[in-house]
Structure formats: C-alpha cells, structure tokens
A and B are shown apart, each in its own frame.
Chain A
Amino acid sequence: MTVKIYIPRDAAALALGAEKVATAMAEAIAARGLDATIIRNGSRGMHWLEPLVEVETAEGRVAYGPVKARDVASLLDAGLLSGAAHPLCLGKTEEIPFLKRQTRLTFARCGLIDPLSLDDYRAHSGLRGLEKAVSMQPAAIVAEVTESGLRGRGGAGFPTGIKWKTVLEAAGAQKYIVCNADEGDSGTFADRMIMEGDPFVLIEGMAIAGIATGATKGYVYTRSEYPHAIAVMTQAIEIARAAGVLGQSVLGSTHAFDMEVRTGAGAYVCGEETSLLNSLEGKRGLVRAKPPLPAHKGLFDCPTVINNVISLASVPVILDKGAAFYRDFGMGRSRGTIPIQIAGNVKHGGLYEAAFGLTLGEIVDEIAGGTASGRPVKAVQVGGPLGAYFPRALFDTPFDYEAFAAKDGLIGHAGIVVFDDTADMLKQARFAMEFCAIESCGKCTPCRIGSTRGVEVADKIAAGIEPEKNRELLGDLCNTMKFGSLCALGGFTPYPVMSAMTHFPEDFSPAPLVEAAE
C-alpha cells in the first residue's frame, strides 16, 4: 500500500524550509523507487517543530521534526515509511503533549487533512453543519449560534448570533457575508492557518451564515502579506463551487451562496470593520461612524454580516454538534474554545486551541515553555499592537474577555507576544504610538494627531526632558485618544502605552546623566 507522508504547506513551515524538504523527499522517493506519496497538509500548530514531517502508519501518524532537507536521506535510511526510530522522531503526533492537551474544535482538521481535498474534508466530519443548515429555518440557525455563546473572535467579542439576527431581520434585496481575514495584529496567525490548512471550514461557515441571514454573496477580505492563504482559499472556493457546495443551489438546496477572495493593500486599519467595507468598495480605508451598523447598512449600504475568520470557522462544528456542545466549554460569558497564538520570544511557539479559562501564566510558563532566549519573561503583550502589556504580577489572569477587561487589557484576536527582560517598555510604548501614526486612516483627530504627539512625548521622556510632566502629558494624551477616537486603532493604542507605563515605571524614568555621558 502506498505510504502517505505529510509535509506542511503552511507559510510558517515554508518559512522554515518545508518546500526544500518536500522537494528532497520527492526526489528521494523517486530515486529509491519507494511506494509513497507526499501530501501537503496545513500546520499542526507546533511551529518550533516545523517543518514537521508525518508518516501514516497502522498505529497512527508518527511525527518527525524539525526536519531539514539534508535529513531526508537519513530519515529514509532509518525507516521513515514504517515510522521507525530516528533522532528527529517525536513519536505519535497525537501524543505530543502540546497537541494532546488541546481542545481542537475549530482547528480539528487543521494539519490533519489535505486542505484542498473536499473528500478528505468530508471524511473528517466536514459539511455536516451545512447539511443540517440547508434543511433548517434561518431563524433556527441564528438561534443555534446565539445559544452556543459564540462571540466575535476578531477581538470585540460581540455575540455572533445577535449580529446575524440583526441582518436576518433587516430588509434588503441584497445582503452580504463579509469575512474579516485582515489579520494584521502582530502575534496572530490563526486566520492564516485556517485559510491555508482548512479553507473549506471557512467556506462552510460563510455558507451557513448566508443561509441564516438571507445573504447570497460573500467576500473574504484578506491581506496582501498572505499570498499562500490567498492561493489556497481561492482554489478551495473553485473546488467548492465545482462540487455544488457553493453556487445557485448550495448542496442541492434552494439556497444560493457564492463567494470570492479580495486582497487588501497593506493598510492595517482595514482590519477595522467599517474601514474594511470601504476598502472592499474600492475606496480609501477610512473608518465610518457608527451608527448605522454594518448589519443595517454595510457593504454598498446593504445589510452585512461582518465576522472574523475564526468566528465563521467555528460555526460548522456548532451546527454539527449543537449549541450545547460548544457552550459547555469555557468560563463565565466566554464560551467555547479560543485558538491562542503563542509568539515572540518563546520556546514553544504556535497555535494552542483550548477552552477559555487558562491563566496567562499557564500559557506562558507551561505551554509556551518560557522564553526562547532562556532569560526571564518581562512582559507579555496580549491582543496585538492595541493590546496591553502584562507583567508577571498579572499572570493569574484567566483567558476570558471580562477578566482581561477587568485588568485594563483585552484578549483581542488571542495572540500573545512574549518579551524577555531585555525589552525596553518605553521603547515599546513609543512603538505603539509610532505604529498608530503610520497606520491611522486620518479621519479623526485624536488618532491622527495624538499618535504623532505621543511619539514626541515618549522621545522627550527617553531624553530625560521634564520626565514627570511628560509622563503626565502622555497619560492625558492617552485619555483623549481612548475616549475621543472613532475606532479601536486610536481608541486602543493607549492600552499598550498605559500598561507599559503603569506596570514598568522604571523604564519611564530617564537615565541618569552620568550614564548618558559615558
């Protein structure tokens, strides 16, 4: 029987040499006349082990990693095809603790299947949610999503079902489903991994959203920085269309739904939903004032559901297994699972899907294994460039929307970036302001001007110019930006700045003159 070898096509694996490994493996298989085939899967999310090569054996998949092209010969010599021992062998993939301890609902198939095989998708419970949805009343689908407790995974945490209900009840000849795949936050890559590793789950989720709200057209708005995701997603849509999953008759039903991928052009602010809608319409990505809500007047002024990739990709399992199944995971008002993205200076970086409720300390110290540099952890930025920096003193904070808000932070898109003790928090605060200045759409003054003034004030503090007065000024400026900005870019930039200043005051004190003179 032909042995299946899995070598990821995920961008993180490619960035670490997966293409060279796949080429070397293909050449070696041919040269040795072996009966084996290579499947390019998504990533399992254990990025410190990428490129992670797996081989299918009678006892399950066996993993090897991190594999370099030069390891291929010795792997085959050792008996890779039968899952034999080798210094790079990690044992059965499913038994690797990082993977075994996860609760994979949204990412159940990511890394497991060939992302562009609809048969593989079906064989792993794919399309079951959509099959149920086509025979349900729209209001019943919306009720199921509402009861699941699913909240927007893009960062705002707004209940997905309520958003859908608003669009369902809105009058309009044309409605849209827009998937916000403009994943620009540093420390996040969950959307990219789903699009590259299990694109059909997003297609299925969007089709369900369409049926639930009466929308017949969907757009996935993603980033030009994600060429691999764009390619996989585009191909998957074509395959789904050819198979009748998309089109005039979704799975043979009376529902019509089709979709396409659109690419942004390097503007971070387009991850803000109203800016994204303007960009999709072909305009500058200026933020719109709300109301009207996108649910009432969204894309081209039509009722529009705009959801994050992970929100939409979580819908199929909710429809398949029921609202209660999903709701039973999690804590408080944060229900279900969240794909935590562990990044930055960490030993074990990657994607870890778990029910809400893990503490930040468990994630950083146990799951991530501390820093890659081996130095003590100084700060963890949670929720992207607009998220707060958490010191070790707050490591008991559970991963939960409300718990993070109570500590003046946010979960955002669930990316965490770890910094060791060499980090200069004044520099990080300055960067937050600089980034806001670069990416501001310019529509509102607090964001456009405030961010530039913020950089200047941070520079004055660094230079030791009236530090006390300027720290106060920075706080005042943050207050104006937080409450006076039109959207989260200007409104949340104060989070990293204020948290850095509050938790790491020592970095905001000017260096003594003697040091400067040296």
Chain B
Amino acid sequence: MNIHLPGADVTERTLAIVGELKGLEGPLLPILHEIQDEFGYVPQECLPLIARELNLSRAEVHGVVTFYHDFREHPAGRHVLKLCRAEACQSMGGDRLAERAKALLGIDFHETTPDGAVTLEPVYCLGLCSCSPSAMLDGEVHGRVDDAELEALVAEVRR
C-alpha cells in the first residue's frame, strides 16, 4: 500500500501553488481555484497547509472553502453538466428540462452517476438568458436546449 504517496504529492503540489500565488493581494481565492483545477476538488489535507502558508487559521480557510458553491470537497464525475435554474430559463421550461435531465441520468442535483461519468449541478445564471434554457457541459455553453439536445449531451457524457 502506498497511501502516503498521494498525500506527499498533494502536499508538494499545494505548496507549489501557494508559493506561486501568495504574493498576490488577497491570494486565497486564486489559490483555491488553482487547487481545484489541479485536483478536481479541494482536498481536506490542503487546508492546514494553505492556512500555515498564509498565516490564517484553519477555520478561516475552511470557512472560505465552504462558503463558495464552486469549491468541491469531493471529486466530481468525469463530466460536469450544469443546468441553469434561474428565472429566464424557468420562463422557457427550464424546470421541466431539469426534471428530464435527472430522469435521464438517474440522479438528483449535486449527485454523480454511480459509474462516475457525470455530476449534475444547478447554476444560477450563465448569462445566456436571451437563449434560454441554457446549460454548460465541461465549460462549453449550450443555449436553447431542447429535449433532443439534452439527450445528445447526456449521450456524450455517457460515452
């Protein structure tokens, strides 16, 4: 068992990220974004390291990580499908589309399919309100999403 190896790796990479960014004014959010980009989530073991390097308490860092919706405490699926849940998308059948997505994937919001293929997340506005309902799949935006397009997106993540 080499359970120490990933840990050592996380430590090393976390310290490298913090070292690179801590010269910024207000470096904590940029650091957390970079860590999430690196690992796909914010591993618990990063928090004391960040706290030590930035001279913050671990509680402060924990508070920040948990305040923002973006930061994950666990890895997401291989794909992340975000569906806009805000008013403009509601006016164009966004709620119905969300129910359809949940049924197609067999999961609720904030859940990952058992095969680890996709995580379904709500998002409150992608700024595509003139072409509602909208979705984002792995950073790619989709507007005027109808049933056919949703099915195509789901088929893509299932591949």
| A residues at B contact (CB < 8 Å) | 11-12, 14-16, 47-48, 50, 183-189, 192, 223-228, 262-268, 279-285, 300, 341-346, 349-351, 372, 381, 385, 415, 417-420, 423, 428, 431, 435, 438-439, 441
Q: Indicate whether B150 reaches chain A with its CB closer than 8 angstroms.
A: no
**Shortest distance between the CB of A341 and any CB in chain B (Å):** 7
Q: Which of B90, B127, B140, B141 contacts A183 (CB 8 A)?
A: B127
Q: Indicate whether B107 reaches chain A with its CB closer than 8 angstroms.
A: no
Q: Which of A14, A264, A266, A345 contacts B91 (CB 8 A)?
A: A345
Q: Indicate whether B25 reaches chain A with its CB closer than 8 angstroms.
A: yes
Cα–Cα, bound, A223→B29 (Å): 12
- Most chain A CB within 10 A, of B28, B67, B68, is at B67
B54 cross-chain contacts in A, Cβ below 8 A: 282
B33: nearest chain-A partner, CB-CB: A263
**Shortest distance between the CB of A426 and any CB in chain B (Å):** 13
Known: A184-B125, A268-B124, A284-B64. A349 touches B131 (CB 8 A): yes
A343–B70 touching, CB < 8 Å: no
A441 cross-chain contacts in B, Cβ below 8 A: 67
**Shortest distance between the CB of A438 and any CB in chain B (Å):** 8
0 or 1 for each of B78-107: is its CB under 8 Å from A? (1 = yes): 000000001111111000000000000000
Cα–Cα, bound, A385→B88 (Å): 10
0 or 1 for each of B42-74: is its CB under 8 Å from A? (1 = yes): 000000000000100000100110011111000
A344–B87 touching, CB < 8 Å: yes
Q: Indicate whether B132 reaches chain A with its CB closer than 8 angstroms.
A: yes
B125–A186 touching, CB < 8 Å: yes
B69–A187 touching, CB < 8 Å: no
B25–A189 touching, CB < 8 Å: no
**Shortest distance between the CB of B49 and any CB in chain A (Å):** 15
> What are some 9 contacts across the A-B interface (CB < 8 A)?
A11-B128, A15-B134, A16-B144, A184-B125, A266-B69, A345-B92, A381-B87, A415-B88, A428-B90
Q: With contacts defined as CB atoms under 8 Å apart, how many contacts are there between chain A and chain B in the complex?
A: 152
B91 cross-chain contacts in A, Cβ below 8 A: 344-345, 417-420, 423
Cα–Cα, bound, A279→B146 (Å): 36
Q: Indicate whether B17 reaches chain A with its CB closer than 8 angstroms.
A: no
B126: nearest chain-A partner, CB-CB: A225
A267–B130 touching, CB < 8 Å: no
Q: Which of B27, B87, B128 contacts A15 (CB 8 A)?
A: B128
B71–A265 touching, CB < 8 Å: yes
B141–A266 touching, CB < 8 Å: no
**Shortest distance between the CB of B39 and any CB in chain A (Å):** 15
| B residues at A contact (CB < 8 Å) | 25-30, 32-33, 54, 60, 63-64, 67-71, 86-92, 123-132, 134, 136, 139-144
Cα–Cα, bound, A486→B30 (Å): 28
Cα–Cα, bound, A226→B129 (Å): 13
Q: Which of B92, B123, B131, B143 contacts A225 (CB 8 A)?
A: B123
Q: Which of B25, B26, B63, B139 contacts A284 (CB 8 A)?
A: B63
Cα–Cα, bound, A50→B134 (Å): 14
B124–A189 touching, CB < 8 Å: no
Given A50-B131, A228-B141, A265-B33, 20 new contacts (CB under 8 A): A12-B130, A15-B141, A186-B129, A188-B129, A223-B127, A262-B29, A263-B29, A264-B68, A265-B69, A280-B29, A281-B25, A282-B29, A284-B64, A285-B68, A300-B25, A341-B130, A343-B129, A345-B132, A385-B124, A439-B124
Cα–Cα, bound, A431→B91 (Å): 12
A225 cross-chain contacts in B, Cβ below 8 A: 123, 125-127, 136
Known: A186-B124, A279-B29, A282-B27. A343 touches B130 (CB 8 A): yes
Q: Which of B67, B88, B124, B126 contacts A344 (CB 8 A)?
A: B88
B129–A280 touching, CB < 8 Å: no
A344–B129 touching, CB < 8 Å: yes
A186–B64 touching, CB < 8 Å: no
B87–A428 touching, CB < 8 Å: yes
A349 cross-chain contacts in B, Cβ below 8 A: 129-131
**Shortest distance between the CB of B129 and any CB in chain A (Å):** 3
Q: Which of B63, B70, B126, B134 contacts A265 (CB 8 A)?
A: B70
B89–A186 touching, CB < 8 Å: yes
A187 cross-chain contacts in B, Cβ below 8 A: 86-88, 129
